[in-house]
């Protein structure tokens, strides 16, 4: 079962046109370019990157909220084109980052959970809907009496449980988790991560796990995509990425993540500068202006994702497999 | 003499539904050149206690303390005017959200120079020079031209640097950084933290780092104070805290870190932080504690000695035999 690909994406791109006027051409924001990946049932694919790297755009495409401007993807064996959207939408659901903003404050929890059924399963009777909603409430670790309460009566962790329950009401195959724990406290975060792990084992769900927190990703993911400025720069299994990052950006990201181990001697790679604006992505490798290894070729030509399973888009990749090679010269 | 000495600080808020104690008998002391981290979850009172020190709480707050001294001067006895001479000059604070803490109506140059104008008696040309120097110090490229930009024209990382430049403008003796990197990406976070600890080393100022990120604590702090539901539950040097936590809350918090996980399921802390109406009678952590017994549920514990990290617990963990006896 875990071999069944449920999402196959090929060169997904999403470009937005912004600005422009009567006499001015609109500019193009390349929010996401040429993302290809496969997501299997029962597995977790993590998408990592800093703000503006296209993580959330990818989530919106996979959840069928927006149409890609280039490339295509298959959901559950069927092409995700606009004609199929209505029938495919129940297979993929999303959990948002902010549990305070994503629940309607005027609806009771019961109504929130039953709404997807009302719309998508018109043949169900009201009693069946209520029964299913109550089952789901128990499944995510909430008590039956919570059914009649309003969202403001819950803590952040409980609200996130409700959001997960709502997403699972239609028995989806894929759950897109857009930073599901970054708004939660540490002690609550582990409860939600455990819930997600249990649900995945029980229901064989595929997770597209979007996060910027590498320690959470390391715990949850099977496969990882590292994105930079709208493009995947490195993909591979969790072990490959964390033990032997090949792309300099991945390496920098890993070295910048604080480790809860005082006195740990580590070489922190200092990146100079900030993310360039997605409106004028530098020609060549997008990371070149901040990269300590960049050479003329990097500024002129864009590297493609290369490799068999552990793929990286870099002309001068780090030696893979060795966890920490000689300290690189930090950029000035 | 400690740079900052606060004893038995309590902050009560008058709310529509009655009094609410946000900070409960907290002690804070920071020496010159020391980096103290205050960790805790949301609602643990870590920001409120520092805002009380700065005098930035609204009128609904009642602040009581046995001692509140900065460089030996009693902050409680100062007139508001005298206090404003210290706050912003000798004690400076960096706030959590750079985007909403800067005034959108003024250029960042104006806002940096304002502190210099009010506290440093500099003339216009010196102020301008100093502002450029500060922006250069915090790593803002092309400072001369950036002085004339507004906060909305810059990214979050740049605005946070402007905030830091403002706070260090008058060479403070104590810098309070309230979640200085929470809103930022990890690569920028690393830059900002390096900048802060570098400044602290160079100028010898005291630094209080308020955060909830254990990784940031481990890499930057010298001493850690853990707060829970308004109380300080433990205070230890950073190495000892991570190696031998004494309070069950600290131990549970460290165990819940995904990077310390040994299996796919993480150890959790059941329940939630108590709120205004469900404060337990005994130890505040007892409803969630794995070791709690009847004594914990009925009698509030008092802090242990410093050999047990001042743990506010009846049954501190990792206690050696001699200490127990």
For residue A226, list chain B residues with Cβ-Cβ distance below 8 A.
none
Alpha-carbon distance B214 to B210, whole Å? 11
Q: Do residues B290 and B256 touch, judged by C-beta distance below 8 A? A: no
DSSP A16: E
Q: What is the spatial distance between Cα A121 and Cα A239, in angstroms, rounded to a whole number?
A: 41
> Would you state the torsion angle of the CA atoms of residues B126, B132, B134, B138, taken in this order, to the nearest 10 degrees?
180
CB contact under 8 A, A190 and B157: no
Tell me if chain B has a CB within 8 Å of the CB of A198.
yes
Chain A residues touching B188 at Cβ < 8 A: 50, 274
Instruction: Scan for tokens 């072990």, then name that residue.
Output: A239
Query: Which band of pLDDT confidence, cut at 50, 70 and 90, is reported for residue B243?
Result: very high
- Which residue out of A186, A207, A273, A290 would a mutagenesis test of the B interface target, given it has the greatest number of B Cβ atoms within 10 Å? A186
Model confidence at A27: pLDDT above 60: yes
Name the residue with tokens 């070149």.
A288
| A193:B258 CB<8 A | yes
CA–CA min distance A7, chain B (Å): 24
Interface of A with B in 110-149 (CB under 8 A): none
Q: Does B165 touch chain A (CB under 8 A)?
A: no
d(CA B69, CA A92): 58
pLDDT tens digits along A129-162: 999 999 999 999 888 889 999 999 888 889 999 9
Mutation for testing the B interface, residue in A154, A187, A330 having most B CBs under 10 Å:
A187
Per-residue pLDDT band at A2 (split at 50, 70, 90): low
Long-range contacts formed by A78-85: CB under 8 A, 24+ apart:
none
B239 and chain A: CB distance < 8 Å anywhere? yes
Instruction: Please choose, from the candidates A244, A208, A207, A251, the residue with its C-alpha nearest in 3D space to the C-alpha of residue A228.
Output: A251
As a whole number, the mean pLDDT across chain A is 87
pLDDT at B174 over 90: yes
- From chain B, the residues in CB contact with A219 under 8 A are 258-259, 261, 264, 266
pLDDT tens readout for residues B16-74: 888 888 999 999 999 999 999 999 888 888 889 999 999 889 989 999 999 999 998 99
Residue that is written with structure tokens 């769900």 in the block: A205
8 Å CB contact between A40 and A69: no
Share of chain B above pLDDT 70, in %: 98
Cβ distance of A256 and B187 shorter than 8 Å: yes
Determine the Cα angle at A179 with ends A173 and A183, to 5°.
130
| C-alpha angle B111-B117-B120 in degrees, rounded to nearest 5 | 125
Average pLDDT for residues A43-65, to the nearest whole number?
Answer: 90
Which region among A268-277, A317-326, B47-56, B275-284 has the lowest average model confidence (pLDDT)?
A317-326
Query: Which residues are B237's β-sheet partners?
Result: B223
CB-CB neighbors (< 8 A) of B236 in chain A: none
Q: Is residue A266 part of a domain?
A: yes
B267 close to A (CB below 8 A):
yes
Which candidate, A302, B203, B191, places its Cα nearest to that of A294? Answer: A302
Write down the pLDDT at residue A326: 40
Cβ separation A252–B187 shorter than 8 A: yes
Of A33-42, A125-134, A300-309, least confident by mean pLDDT is A300-309
What is the distance, to the nearest Å, from the Cα of residue A319 to the centroid of all Cα atoms in its chain? 27
Predicted local distance difference test score (pLDDT) of residue A280: 78
Cα B53 to Cα B222: distance, rounded to the nearest angstrom: 21
pLDDT band at B323 (very low <50, low <70, confident <90, very high): low
DSSP-derived letter for residue B170 is T
Q: pLDDT tens, A230-239?
A: 899 999 999 9
DSSP B296: H
In this prediction, residue B321 carries a pLDDT of 53
Contacting residues of A for B258, CB less than 8 Å apart:
189-190, 193, 215-216, 218-220
Indicate the average pLDDT of chain B.
89
A267 with A285: CB under 8 angstroms? no
Q: Report in angstroms the alpha-carbon separations of A278 from A13, A230, A296, B80, B184.
A: 14, 8, 22, 48, 18
Q: Does A262 touch chain B (CB under 8 A)?
A: yes
Q: Which of A2-6, A232-236, B144-148, B226-230 has the lowest mean pLDDT?
A: A2-6
Which chain A residue shows the shortest CA-CA distance from B237? Answer: A262
Name the nearest CA neighbour of A178 among A256, A238, A249, A98: A98
Which residues of chain B neighbour A218 with C-beta distances below 8 Å? 258-259
Count of C-beta atoms within a 10 Å radius of residue B262? 8
For chain B, where are the E strands, in sequence order? 4-15, 18-30, 35-39, 61-64, 67-70, 73-74, 91-94, 174-178, 206-211, 223-228, 231-237
Nearest beta carbon to residue B186 from set A193, A198, A257: A257
With an 8 Å Cβ cutoff, are B257 and A215 in contact? Answer: yes
**Assign residue A71 a region: left if phi > 0, alpha if psi is -120 to 50, beta otherwise?**
left
Which letter, b or e, does each residue of B189-215 get, where b requires 16 or more Cβ atoms within 10 Å of its Cβ? bbbbbbbbbebbeeeebbbbbbbbbbb
Q: Nearest CA to CA, how far is A13 from chain B (Å)?
A: 24
pLDDT value at B233 more than 90: yes
Q: Is residue A60 part of a domain?
A: no
Domain count, chain A: 1
A259: helix, strand or coil: coil
Residue contact B269–A187, C-beta within 8 A:
yes
Q: Would A187 be classed as within a structural domain?
A: no
Size of the A and B interface in Cβ pairs below 8 Å: 117
The answer to whether the CB atoms of B187 and A271 lie below 8 A apart is yes
Residue A322 has a pLDDT of: 44
Q: Does A279 touch chain B (CB under 8 A)?
A: no
Contact B219 A262 (CB under 8 A): yes
Query: Which is it for strands B231-237 and B223-228: parallel, antiparallel or unpaired?
Result: antiparallel
| DSSP character string of B188-203 | HHHHHHHHHHHHHHHH
pLDDT tens column, A155-175: 888 999 999 999 999 999 999
For residue B217, the chain A residue with the least C-alpha distance is A260
Q: Which two tokens stand for residue B310?
A: 């001042």
Contact between A166 and A113 under an 8 Å Cβ cutoff? The reply is: yes
Question: A307 lies in which domain range?
Answer: 242-332
pLDDT at A52: 79
Q: Kindly indicate the confidence band of residue B222, based on its pLDDT and cuts at 50, 70 and 90.
A: very high
Average pLDDT over residues B315-320: 84
Contact between A157 and B272 using a beta-carbon 8 Å cutoff: yes
Chain B residues with CB-CB distance to A193 below 8 A: 258, 266
Which pLDDT score is estimated for A329?
Answer: 42
Cβ neighbours for B117, distance < 8 A, ≥ 6 positions apart? B127
Task: Kindly indicate the confidence band of residue B100, based on its pLDDT and cuts at 50, 70 and 90.
Answer: confident
Give the residue carrying structure tokens 């930035």. B56
Q: Are A58 and A66 in contact (CB under 8 A)?
A: no
User: Which residue among A216, A219, A258 places its CB closest to the CB of B216?
Assistant: A258
- Residue whose C-alpha is closest to residue B253's, from A69, A169, A187: A187
Determine which of A99, A141, A190 to mutate to test the interface with B (most B C-beta atoms within 10 Å): A190
DSSP percent split of chain B into helix, strand, coil, nearest 5 = 40, 20, 40
**Using an 8 Å Cβ cutoff, are A54 and A227 in contact?**
yes
Residue A189: HSE in the Cβ half-sphere, 13 Å Cα cutoff: 28
The answer to whether residue A261 is domain-embedded is yes
DSSP codes of every residue in A53-71: SSHHHHHHHHTTSS--SEE
CB-CB under 8 Å, A51 with B265: no
Cα angle: A201, vertex A203, A204; to 5 degrees: 65
Nearest to A218 among B41, B254, B259 (CB): B259
DSSP 8-state code for residue A315? S
For chain A, say whether B259 makes contact (Cβ under 8 Å).
yes
Flag the least confident range among A11-20, A124-133, B97-106, B271-280: B271-280
């Amino acid at each position: 079962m875990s071999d069944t690909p449920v999402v196959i994406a090929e060169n997904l791109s999403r470009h937005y046109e912004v600005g422009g006027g009567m006499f001015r051409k609109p500019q193009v924001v390349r929010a996401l370019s040429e993302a290809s990946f496969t997501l299997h049932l029962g597995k977790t694919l993590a998408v990592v990157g800093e703000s503006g790297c296209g993580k959330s755009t990818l989530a919106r495409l996979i959840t069928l909220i927006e149409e890609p401007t280039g490339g295509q993807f298959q959901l559950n064996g069927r092409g995700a084109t606009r004609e199929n959207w209505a029938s495919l939408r129940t297979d993929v659901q999303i959990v948002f980052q902010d549990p305070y903003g994503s629940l309607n404050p005027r609806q009771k929890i019961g109504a929130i959970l039953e709404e997807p059924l009302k719309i998508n399963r018109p043949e169900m009777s009201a009693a069946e809907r209520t029964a299913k909603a109550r089952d789901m409430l128990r499944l995510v670790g909430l008590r039956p009496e919570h059914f009649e309460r309003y969202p403001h009566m819950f803590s952040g962790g409980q609200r996130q449980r409700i959001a997960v329950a709502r997403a699972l009401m239609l028995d989806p195959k894929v759950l897109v988790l857009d930073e599901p724990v970054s708004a939660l406290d540490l002690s609550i975060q582990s409860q939600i991560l455990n819930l997600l792990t249990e649900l995945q084992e029980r229901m064989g769900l595929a997770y597209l796990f979007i996060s910027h927190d590498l320690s959470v990703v390391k715990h949850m993911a099977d496969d990882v995509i590292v994105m930079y400025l709208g493009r995947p720069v490195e993909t591979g299994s969790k072990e490959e990425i964390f033990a032997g990052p090949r792309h300099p950006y991945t390496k920098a990201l890993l070295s910048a993540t604080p480790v809860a181990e005082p006195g740990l001697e580590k070489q922190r790679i200092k990146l100079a500068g900030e993310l360039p604006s997605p409106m004028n992505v530098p020609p060549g490798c997008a990371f070149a202006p901040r990269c300590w290894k960049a050479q003329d070729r990097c500024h002129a030509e864009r590297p493609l994702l290369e490799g068999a399973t552990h793929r990286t888009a870099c002309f001068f990749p780090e030696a893979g497999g060795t966890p920490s090679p000689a300290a690189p010269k930090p950029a000035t | 003499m400690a740079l900052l000495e606060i004893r038995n600080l309590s902050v009560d808020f008058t709310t529509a539904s009655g009094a609410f104690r946000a900070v409960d008998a907290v002690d804070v002391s920071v020496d010159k050149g020391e980096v103290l981290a205050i960790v805790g979850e949301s609602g643990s009172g870590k920001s409120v206690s520092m805002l009380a020190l700065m005098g930035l709480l609204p009128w609904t707050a009642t602040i009581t303390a046995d001692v509140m001294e900065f460089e030996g001067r009693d902050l409680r006895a100062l007139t508001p005017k005298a206090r404003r001479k210290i706050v912003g000059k000798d004690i400076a604070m960096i706030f959590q959200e750079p985007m909403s803490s800067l005034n959108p109506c003024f250029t960042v140059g104006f806002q940096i120079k304002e502190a210099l104008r009010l506290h440093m008696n500099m003339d216009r040309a010196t102020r301008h020079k100093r502002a450029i120097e500060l922006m250069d110090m915090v790593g803002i490229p092309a400072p001369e031209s950036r002085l004339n930009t507004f906060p909305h024209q810059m990214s979050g990382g740049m605005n946070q640097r402007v905030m830091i430049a403002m706070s260090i403008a008058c060479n403070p003796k104590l810098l309070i950084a309230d979640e200085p990197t929470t809103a930022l990406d990890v690569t920028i976070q690393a830059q900002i933290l390096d900048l802060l600890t570098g400044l602290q080393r160079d100028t010898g100022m005291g630094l209080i780092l308020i955060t909830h990120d254990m990784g940031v604590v481990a890499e930057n702090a010298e001493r850690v104070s853990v707060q829970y539901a308004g109380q300080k539950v433990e205070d230890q040097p950073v190495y000892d805290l991570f190696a031998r936590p004494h309070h069950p809350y600290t131990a549970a918090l460290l165990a819940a870190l995904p990077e310390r996980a040994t299996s796919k399921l993480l150890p959790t802390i059941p329940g939630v932080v108590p709120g205004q109406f469900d404060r337990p009678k005994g130890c505040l952590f007892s409803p969630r504690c794995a070791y709690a017994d009847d004594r914990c549920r009925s009698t509030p514990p008092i802090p242990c000695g410093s050999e047990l990290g001042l743990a506010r617990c009846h049954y501190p963990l990792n206690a050696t035999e001699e200490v127990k006896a």
